[in-house]
Amino acid sequence: MLNPEAPKNKKIWIDLDNSPHVPLFLPIMKELEKRGHSVFVTTRDCFQVCSLADLHNLKHKQIGTHYGSNKLLKVLGTVWRSLQLAPTVLKEKPDLSLSHGSRSLMLLSSLLRIPTVLMFDYEHANSFPFVKAALGIAPEVIDDPGKAGNFKMGLCGYRGLKEDVYVASFMPEPSFLRTLDLDQDDIVATIRPPAMEAHYHNPESEKLFYEVIEFLGSIPDLRMVILPRNERTESEMIRRTWPKWCKERKIIVPDKALDGLNLIWYSDLVVSGGGTMNREAAALGVPVYSIFRGKIGAVDRYLAEKGRLTLIETVDDVRRRIRPIRRLKGKITDFSDRTALKDIMDAIEKVM
């Protein structure tokens, strides 16, 4: 006899609208499917989201794009993408929606009365004031009781970082350096420019980014792998500003999506103007320097206090605090702690 109180299998909609969401949701999707639920995935054509999804052989439906840095266009673009998503979502009839800050998913889920779970790890990001998710999930270091009131079922905290969710299954690929034509003698610095189109962008980050390139470019045997957020405009800006170094492969701008964890693991240092790559490096134990100059969130403050992240706040800090030296990469650390994933899955099951 069937237990009438046993939870039935659910259909879950996941929207990936930024590149860090791809590796984050891969283990979450795998775990959901292992528990008997079905998942369908939509993607936004921006910041290499689709190419990263393809790199991981993820089945997804690409809907919508990015609408630039203008605040009005951002809002209109979010509404328009919600309308674009509607036919697919109406056809699929999900029981639950899940994202790491997708505003289009939040808006459409609210209109269609689909319970939604919102994951986040930066408490200062803007959201729609009139849209309320069923549950919020965030790292427990974001200890802000006021945030719980933004969710119908409150806020669940998980131990560790969101990056711990997928770093737990990371195994370095021994031949990775050959994909970039690098060798073990190179000092490798991976660099991520600031998010210039984000609402929290501070122009000071751009000055720090320029100074970082100038400083690291003066170091012998050092190569910079720069990962532009915008494949066209930022790539062209880098090649136009430092043509000689690009030609000499002092600066390498990859022409396709790369496995970010492997790139970080084989780097000697990481410098980033965003959050995710900084935290991935911290999770892997790679020296990392943040040139983010927006409002510092609780996660980055925590990592800085623990000595796992160095905040670069001024142009003088670039040459004073960044240490462009070769690191020992031989020992593979055990990254198998799955605590963060377990806590997140337990929270999602509460809603279902």
Q: What is the pTM of this model?
A: 0.86
Q: What is the torsion angle, in degrees rounded to the nearest 10, for the CA atoms of residue 105, residue 107, residue 110 and residue 114?
A: -10
Specify the 3-state DSSP secondary structure of 260.
helix
Helix (H) or strand (E) holding 233: helix 233-241
Q: Which fold has domain 176-321?
A: Rossmann fold (3.40.50)
Q: Say which residue the tokens 């470019």 belong to.
A: 217
What 3-state class would DSSP assign to 25? helix
**Residue 41 to residue 30: CA distance in whole angstroms:** 13
- Containing 4, the helix (H) or strand (E) segment is none
In this predicted structure, what is the pLDDT of residue 133?
93
Superfamily, domain 11-168+338-351: Glycogen Phosphorylase B; (3.40.50.2000)
Alpha carbon distance 275, 192 (integer Å): 10
CA neighbor of 277 nearest in space, from 232, 328, 343, 229: 229
SS3 at position 101: coil
Count how many Cα atoms sit within 13 Å of the Cα of residue 325 in the half-sphere of its side chain: 6
Look at residues 302, 233, 244, 230 and name the one whose alpha carbon lies nearest to residue 273: 230
CA distance 41 to 25: 10
Radius of gyration of the chain (CA): 20
φ, ψ at 67 (rounded to 5°) = -115, 25
Of 123, 88, 92, 127, which Cα lies nearest the Cα of 106?
A: 127
Q: How far apart are CA 135 and CA 116, in angstroms?
A: 7
Q: Do domains 11-168+338-351 and 176-321 have the same CATH topology?
A: yes
The pLDDT of residue 7 is: 55
| The predicted structure's pLDDT at residue 196 | 60
Cα 26 from Cα 40, distance rounded (Å): 12
**Where along the chain do its domains lie?**
11-168+338-351, 176-321
pLDDT value of residue 96: 97
Quick one: pLDDT at residue 298? 93
* pLDDT (0 to 100) of residue 201: 54
Looking at the chain, which runs of residues are DSSP E strands?
A: 11-16, 38-45, 61-65, 96-99, 116-119, 135-139, 155-158, 187-192, 222-226, 251-252, 269-272, 288-290, 310-311
- How far is the C-alpha of 196 from the C-alpha of 194, rounded, in Å? 6
User: Helix 298-305 crosses helix 276-284 at what angle (to 10 degrees)?
Assistant: 30
Sites in the chain below the pLDDT cut of 70: 1-7, 68-70, 196-202, 231-232, 330-337
